[in-house]
Structure 1
Amino acid sequence: MKQTEDEKIRVDKWLWAARFYKTRSMATDAVEAGHVHLNGERPKPARALKIGDKLRIYAAHGEFEMTVRQLADKRGSAAIAVTLYEESPESIAKREQSREMQATAPHFDHPDVRGRPTKKWRRELHSFERKQGRE
């Protein structure tokens, strides 16, 4: 539900309604951990948010800099959530650049090595180590 201009909404509730966090408790934890900055300051989760406020959000899916355009206290569809804020062009470009860098970065993990080695993999490792020791 969208709010009028004179009403205020909690930061954690708005972050949840704008779909930056999956649950309100995750939004509250993020605000308390300092992953959200309101007008350059670290707010408390219950801090009132109003239209025109500047937010910087550090989330698992990227870093966002935005201006609050509308207030909402209920979580709606993704199409509605996008109308609640206006992201800065610099933020969009920075996030795209970091996404590109992650995509082109080399991955060094072996697909067979996850967790403990299997019996077969352990035997192959021991065999390799024995052959290396003889030379």
Structure 2
Amino acid sequence: MTENVLTKQRLDTWLWAARFFKTRRLATEAISGGKIHLNGQRSKPSKEVRIDDSLQIHKAGYQWTVKIVGLNPQRRPAKEAVLLYKESDESLQQRHALKALNKDMNASMPRSERPNKKQRRQIHRFKQTD
């Protein structure tokens, strides 16, 4: 029996199989919206990718620059999906720096909390005074 080895795969299915998007529809919308660049150019969801192609992925404020090292027609566990691509060192450093910056910004902003029971009573008394 001969093995069926993939040499090319649709871009939207690869993004879905590599777990960058939860559904093929989300991957298709991102590609059509110009968030995904294949080898430096915008492409269509049906564009076929091959091993050694490069992708620039813009998603949720972060940017990935990855090189395709494997193809898989099915969505596999995350540990296997990571083996389908190799992220560049620059991309990885930029994402970690941005993540740390966002974490620091969120930590410095106080969150508004609900008033506790004592504070609710004080608010109620304040509003009831005539």
The TM tier, using the shorter chain, reads 0.7 to 0.9
SS of equivalent residue, structure 2 residue 42: coil
Q: Distance in 2 between matches of 1:42 and 1:112?
A: 46
2:87 is matched by which residue type in structure 1? E
| Equivalent in the alignment of 2:83 | 83
Partner of 1:46: 46
Matched residue type, 1:14: W
Q: What's the offset of the Cα at 1:73?
A: 1.3
C-alpha deviation, 1:59, in angstroms: 1.6
SS in 2 for 1:102: helix
- Matches of 2:98 and 2:25, distance apart in 1: 27
CA distance in 1, matches of 2:12, 2:97: 28
Q: Specify whether residues 49 and 23 from structure 1 end up closer, same or farther in structure 2 by C-alpha distance, changes over 3 A only.
A: same
Aligned residue for 1:25?
25
Aligned equivalents of 2:43, 2:25: Cα separation in 1: 15
In the alignment, which residue of structure 2 is the partner of 1:36? 36
Q: Extract unaligned runs of 5+ from structure 2.
A: none
Give the 5 Å matches for 1:92-111: 92-105=92-105, 106-111=108-113
- In 1, Cα distance between the equivalents of 2:35 and 2:68? 17
Root mean square deviation of aligned Cα: 2.4
- Aligned counterpart, 1:74: 74
- After TM superposition, the score normalised by the length of structure 1 is 0.77
Deviations 1:21-62 (A, max 9, x none): 001111111111111110111110000100110101012273
The equivalences for 1:56-67 within 5 A come to 56-60=56-60, 62-67=62-67
2:50 and 2:26 map into 1 onto residues whose CA distance is 21
1:62-83 C-alpha deviation (Å, 9 max, x unpaired): 3110100011111001111011
Q: Which amino acid aligns with 2:65?
A: E
Amino acid across the alignment from 2:33: A
Secondary structure at the aligned position of 1:83 is classed as helix
Q: Which residue identity does 2:50 align to in structure 1?
A: K
Task: Give the structure-2-normalised TM-score.
Answer: 0.80
